[in-house]
Amino acid sequence: MTPERKEAVVSEIVRGTPSTYPAWFSARKRSKPLIVSRRVPILLVGLPVLVLLAIVIYPTIWMFYHSLRDTNINHLFSGEHASVGLENYRTVLSSERFHDSLWHLALYLFFGACLQVLLGTLLALIIYEYLKSNLARALILILLVLPMMLPPSIVGTLWRFLLTPSNGAINQALLDLGIISSHIEWFNAGVSLWSIIIADVWNWTALPLLIVYSGRVSLPPAVYEAARVDGAGQWKVLRRITLPMLKEVIAIAFILRFTDAFKFVDLVYVMTSGGPAQSSELPTYIAFQRGIREFAIGEAAAYAIIIFAISAIIVTLFLKYMKRVMKAQGLA
């Protein structure tokens, strides 16, 4: 084999360009589009990208910089803050407060995100399978979605009101129904986090519910007719047809709730302010508290960057999955 021939074969393997392609093909320049200049798409995308760079990327870099310094409010603008290496991270990672807040986050992720998707899916399927009138379905959907249309501040104050231990409506109702015999102290240590989770489940279960319901509606009826002809029981139909076909839809609902859960902090603010005694704090809440209320900016920045890093991993994984789903649907 001559060297030239060998080269051609190697390039064919590496670049997938058979050496038999005509000369003009390898020599060609990218032809100029006739209708819309190549610059237009770049301009169209450029403006939004610049905006996001300014309001997302710049602040993130700012935070990263200050996470390595002993910045506080007194010398933030004078620039007299000194580099402290990874000291801020060490402080955060070794603090009891951070560990506790991670545990709270784990509880919240499980009950706030997973449970909502589970309940939402169950409710969506119940509504679709057992309610046959379209009017009833639409009405119940609208009623169940109402909490989702409320801002966190209303949800928070409303539930703080409902859960007031001494004369709250929930305690009174449970007493009247004979379910409990004495008032539950909803905002004591150990309970307050659960109060927040209850409010959040009330607030957001409708999202997975809506998404799964719409997914179920668009499943082809032919599959179900075929299953009925084959004499498959309801349980089998659910396990072998409905759930597998709704897999992607449920996963998307889960992704949305899970990433939202990482951002979640506002109900903590409104309902408990992290208390009592920091028993319902989430990492994000501490970051805000340290940064904006107590102006320990270096430490807050370390919190922020840690949270950012964790969610970067999760968001990347989720987006990969979403890309696959959208490819399968021909959307991307």
Partner 1 sequence: MANITIEGLCKGWDFPVIDDLSVEIEEGEFFVVVGPSGIGKTTLLRLIAGLESADRGRILLGEREVTHLPPYRRRVAMTFESYALYPHLTVFENISSPLRARKKDRATIERRVKAVAQLLRIDHLLDRKPGQVSGGQKQRTALGRTLVADPEVFLLDEPISHLDAKIRQDLRMQFHTLEELRRVATLYVTHDYAEALSLGDRIGVMGNGGKLVQIGSARELFERPKALFVAEHLGQPTINAIPSILQEENGSLFACAENAALRLALSPQQSQRLNGGAKRRIVLGLRPQHVRPADELRGRDSEIDAQIDIFEALGSNGIIITKAGGVTITGLTHPERHFEPGQDLRLAIDTEALHIFDAETGLSLLEEPRWQG
Partner 2 sequence: MAATADIAQANTQAAQTAERWRAVRYLFLIFLGFWLLFTLFPLYFMAITAFKSAAETNLTQPTFWPQEWFPENFVGVFAEPTNFSALVDSFIIATGNTLLSLLLGSLAGYAFARFPRQAGGENMAFWMLSNRMFPPVAILVPMFFLFDNTPWGTDSHISLIILYLVFNLPLATWLMMVFFRDVPHELEEAAYLDGWKPLRAFVKVTLPLVLPGMISVAMLCWIFAWNEYLFANLFVGSDVRTYTIVIPTFTHGSQTLWNLQMAFSLIAMIPPVVLFIVLRRYMVRGLSLGVVKG
**Residue 279 CB-density burial (10 A; 0-12 exposed, 13-18 middle, 19+ buried):** middle
Distance in Å, CB of 5 to partner 1, minimum: 20
Per CB under 8 A, 77 contacts partner 1:
no
Q: What is the DSSP letter of 19?
A: T
Per CB under 8 A, 130 contacts partner 1:
no
Question: Is 319:263 a contact under the CB 8 Å cutoff?
Answer: no
Nearer to partner 2, 9 or 52 (CB): 52
CA–CA gap between residue 246 and residue 253 (Å, rounded): 11
Distance in Å, CB of 62 to partner 2, minimum: 4
Size of the site for partner 2 (CB under 8 A): 101
Nearer to partner 1, 32 or 39 (CB): 32
CA–CA gap between residue 194 and residue 186 (Å, rounded): 8
Per CB under 8 A, 106 contacts partner 2:
no
Per CB under 8 A, 221 contacts partner 1:
no
State whether residue 53 is helix, strand or coil: helix
22 touches, from partner 1, partner 2, none (C-beta below 5 to 8 Å by class): partner 1
Nearer to partner 2, 13 or 331 (CB): 331
Nearer to partner 2, 18 or 41 (CB): 41
Q: Which of 31, 30, 25 has its CA nearest to residue 17?
A: 25
Nearer to partner 2, 9 or 317 (CB): 317
Nearer to partner 1, 24 or 130 (CB): 24
Judged by CB under 8 A, the residue of 41, 74, 99, 228 near partner 2 is 41
Q: C-alpha 108: how far from its chain's center? A: 13
Question: Is 286:96 a contact under the CB 8 Å cutoff?
Answer: no
CA–CA gap between residue 203 and residue 115 (Å, rounded): 13
Per CB under 8 A, 169 contacts partner 2:
yes
**235-248 per-residue burial string, b: 16 or more CB within 10 A, e: under 16:** eebeeebbeeebeb
Please state the length of the chain. Answer: 332
Q: What type of residue sits at position 129?
A: E
Q: Show contacts with partner 1 in window 3-42 (CB under 8 A).
A: 21-22, 24-25, 28-29, 31-35
**Residue 272 CB-density burial (10 A; 0-12 exposed, 13-18 middle, 19+ buried):** buried
Extract the tokens encoding 29. 């320049």
Residue identified by tokens 């508290």 is 289
Q: What is the DSSP letter of 32?
A: P
CA–CA gap between residue 217 and residue 268 (Å, rounded): 36
222 touches, from partner 2, partner 1, none (C-beta below 5 to 8 Å by class): none
Handedness of CA 225, 227, 230, 232 (dihedral sign): negative
Distance in Å, CB of 1 to partner 1, minimum: 22
Distance in Å, CB of 326 to partner 1, minimum: 22
x-or-dash string of contact with partner 2, 307-326, rule CB under 8 A:
xx--xx--xx-xx--xx-xx
Nearer to partner 1, 16 or 85 (CB): 16
Q: Show contacts with partner 2 in window 235-264 (CB under 8 A).
A: 248-249, 252-253, 256, 259, 262-263
Per CB under 8 A, 124 contacts partner 2:
no
Distance in Å, CB of 41 to partner 1, minimum: 15
Q: Which of 138, 119, 118 has its CA nearest to residue 128?
A: 138
Per CB under 8 A, 180 contacts partner 2:
no
Per CB under 8 A, 1 contacts partner 1:
no
Q: Show contacts with partner 2 in window 54-93 (CB under 8 A).
A: 55-56, 58-60, 62-63, 76
Residues in touch with partner 1 (CB under 8 A): 21-22, 24-25, 28-29, 31-35
